[in-house]
Structure 1
């Protein structure tokens, strides 16, 4: 989550955003390409007084061949004390943020890595991530973790690449001093009290992206309810807020419920029914951590029809569908995470504010798009290379324009069908081509020219309107070699006609208004 309202702020910090050089993605390391991660079992003690962590990560993997080296990422700030395989210590090398392990001569599919140290401090979370250690108004420690730009290596050894998700999920076991609670992914399956410490065991069986594995420490107030999904599943819905904000928790829970219902309407049932729907208050703006979204928007919501809209809560929740359920293996296609989720934000306006609010929102968001970079980045992009503001705003605007081209009935059914198709969800990660091919196949429409133009170039068609005779006009879209259906308002009413570079003639006693509602991305 690197949010829409803060894109200008992002630009200001752009030059320093990756000063620690903890980028990730790009080409997959050849050693790591030989291995698949099945499961992580992360066991950490959180040390708020020293701002450190100490523990181990047990990695279960599979490989088609015997491996001479197991390669994982872990930042050099941590010290690895030992590595075990088959109960025996094995040799390892830890430098340049890489952990190379020499396996013992066995058929082992598991390695346990013991490590610890002071945590890296986030310089500008969530844009430049790491750990954020603060204190609440009652002087309790409060810790949040953000690492979309850096990957999991800032908190655990991992095969740290967007294409790698543990196929059998994760177990996350955190020990902290009383009275602290640790909120994390999945469901809380066990809590143990040992003297002055508490241990919390969270578990999820779903695949999960490395940067979505997360934990937040604090003294929290909890509000909860049982949410009945459109699938019929009854799912725990929970919010954890600081004690000082306990009076605001019920309102936040209600906003979460409304947003979940809204997103289910357009994108299908909540994707992780065996876990929970939850947010936890964090000392930074927010991030889409699977089933435990980070929330730091200071409970700012606005009225929208009969409900209230919290843009940060809604956006992060939208990532449960796009980013968590539907995920990409190459950051080149990051716009699928951000653009479709941002469009889900606009749909809240449509559902609760009506068409007028929706089109006003679209106009406001699209007004300052510079069309400086293509929405889709080159193959094998790193996060730093692929992340830029237009994957949000222009990505959402492309989806909006697609709706204008297809019409509502076909558009909404196609988007929901894509999100519900098992070929494109959970472990089956997607590319931009997967999305565009699916939409064209599902709708029976040839949209390749549309997608090629708006996703892979910075070009925008130019609208040209020419007078012809006393009551006729020729309307053309220059700069394209295909036609798009365009709404045209004439003295006779609104008509929808295909328009391309050759132009189309319309009759009107008054100058026509082309695309009056602003469906298309045009230079006017």
Structure 2
């Protein structure tokens, strides 16, 4: 059996091993005051992709709304591309393109749309997906194979956009890709139309759901497709697709089955698949993987492992989980990025619970807890950039916080509360969330005062220290030092397993054997 590295350790490994871009294409932070006056309604991206020269050329038509007439429109696009012209109401308008910003002087009209024409050599990913860009490779048949990753950089590395995590096109995107025959482009949403000529083919994809900029994605190659209709817990029938390279078509059906099982597992705990009008899908990519709304990148080489009666692929399951946390429930400030990664990582643990049983689940949780460095708070300062907020503990410790929350609340409160949060219209699609939204909701839903718990584990690097003192023949005084509140903790004594509120004030218990405090490892405790 091959050793599998946990996703949190894998992320940390790559973060410290590989260099960053020579040019800083980070995103997030405070939103530009000019851009804060604008709401993006829709993107229509028209791109021709040239695999032989690794170039793209086309336009992005941006539909927007404003509360006032603006003297300046501002969008992001890296200077590696050349902007040839900008149109409003069919007329060319003045613009500048400097420092990865396009500043446009709008004409005197009530126009709510601008079309930006651009093209050039694509930026090459240095270490996808952590340091993103375009990945150009060839498959074993010498066909071109291209993948795009941009979580750390945003959409500006492939299209002009209002490139801030708080900005999502409320009416979705239309994506038109023209490529040489016989190449295929897999992208977001549903395939609306295919137009072919003798030398080229154009694919039109569309999603009407809001979508974060880095989730807009496209992958080029010559693929083998397998598909079937997935019946959601909502009762809806949703197309499910897997696209793999021709050389891997023998693996395609098994990949689709692994995807089906993972989707069923995610739905059990987090509710119906969030984008039923689009599709559930994965596409094989020349890098490890990344969540992209309804077209998750998959490059884990079909490393399926047994888990109970089914097979499990940690990469596929994790990226699929982002359809709920990251795509449906999304944050507008990278300070709260742990909501994307920590809750999704906890969904990975739930696959162990569902298919491997409690022993597999607790072994997974304890293994993750052993490697936590508690080096950075899970929640970053407000207005953080992606680079500032992204570190391994938003995965591992973020998941551990949710695991600990389960231990404190008990399953009868925890699971309904978590699903209710994901299903609440106040926190989904266009209604982006903060950490405070999550913690307030959990406390309101459960009726429990958990503010001390959340403040400790999310905003600090501290953990309480367990102290056990012998008192007489069969007495033990238990306390948690370093906190000012109490936590509900499991304690195993000679009389069995009980839950006791522990805090800084010692609690005396009786046991004929030394007590085991938190034997299942629900909490992060220093000992």
Name the TM-score, length of structure 2 as normaliser: 0.98
Mapping 1:37-56, distance limit 5 Å: 37-56=40-59
SS in 2 for 1:338: helix
The residue that corresponds to 2:17 in the other structure is 13
User: Which deviations, in whole Å up to 9, do the C-alpha atoms of 1:72-112 show, x marking residues without a partner?
Assistant: 00000000000000000000000100000100100000000
Match of 1:522 among 489, 503, 525: 525
User: Which deviations, in whole Å up to 9, do the C-alpha atoms of 1:447-490 show, x marking residues without a partner?
Assistant: 00000000000000000000001000000000011111111111
Give the Å deviation of 1:198.
Answer: 0.5
The residue that corresponds to 2:364 in the other structure is 361
The residue that corresponds to 1:110 in the other structure is 113
User: Which deviations, in whole Å up to 9, do the C-alpha atoms of 1:119-167 show, x marking residues without a partner?
Assistant: 0000000010000000000000000000000000000000000000000
The residue that corresponds to 2:127 in the other structure is 124
Distance 1:244 1:349 in 2: 31
Match of 2:514 among 492, 511, 514: 511
The residue that corresponds to 2:3 in the other structure is none
Matched, 1:172 2:175: yes
Mapping 1:270-289, distance limit 5 Å: 270-289=273-292
Give the Å deviation of 1:405.
Answer: 0.2
SS in 1 for 2:131: coil
SS in 1 for 2:63: strand
Matched, 1:389 2:392: yes
Q: Matched residue pairs, number? A: 522
The residue that corresponds to 2:427 in the other structure is 424
Distance 1:41 1:281 in 2: 25
Match of 1:137 among 137, 140, 143: 140
Give the Å deviation of 1:8.
Answer: 3.8
The residue that corresponds to 1:25 in the other structure is 28
SS in 1 for 2:249: helix
Structure 1, gaps ≥5 residues long: none
Distance 1:279 1:412 in 2: 28
Distance 1:357 1:370 in 2: 23
The residue that corresponds to 2:258 in the other structure is 255
User: Which deviations, in whole Å up to 9, do the C-alpha atoms of 1:164-204 show, x marking residues without a partner?
Assistant: 00000000000000110000000001001022000000000
Distance 1:347 1:243 in 2: 33
Match of 1:76 among 74, 79, 102: 79
Mapping 1:278-427, distance limit 5 Å: 278-427=281-430
Matched, 1:450 2:444: no
Distance 2:187 2:271 in 1: 24
The residue that corresponds to 2:185 in the other structure is 182
Give the Å deviation of 1:7.
Answer: 2.5
The residue that corresponds to 2:208 in the other structure is 205
Distance 2:7 2:107 in 1: 46
Let me know the Cα RMSD of the aligned residues. Answer: 0.9
Give the Å deviation of 1:3.
Answer: 4.0
User: Which deviations, in whole Å up to 9, do the C-alpha atoms of 1:386-411 show, x marking residues without a partner?
Assistant: 00100000000000000000000100
Distance 1:481 1:326 in 2: 32
Distance 1:450 1:277 in 2: 36
Distance 1:73 1:140 in 2: 32
Distance 1:96 1:11 in 2: 26
Name the TM-score, length of structure 1 as normaliser: 0.99
Give the Å deviation of 1:6.
Answer: 1.2
Mapping 1:148-159, distance limit 5 Å: 148-159=151-162
Distance 2:422 2:80 in 1: 39
Distance 2:55 2:181 in 1: 16
Mapping 1:427-442, distance limit 5 Å: 427-442=430-445
Give the Å deviation of 1:495.
Answer: 1.1
SS in 1 for 2:442: helix
SS in 2 for 1:392: helix
Match of 1:229 among 229, 232, 237: 232
Structure 2, gaps ≥5 residues long: 1-5
Match of 1:4 among 5, 8, 14: 8
Distance 2:155 2:283 in 1: 19
Distance 1:40 1:8 in 2: 34
Distance 1:18 1:510 in 2: 57
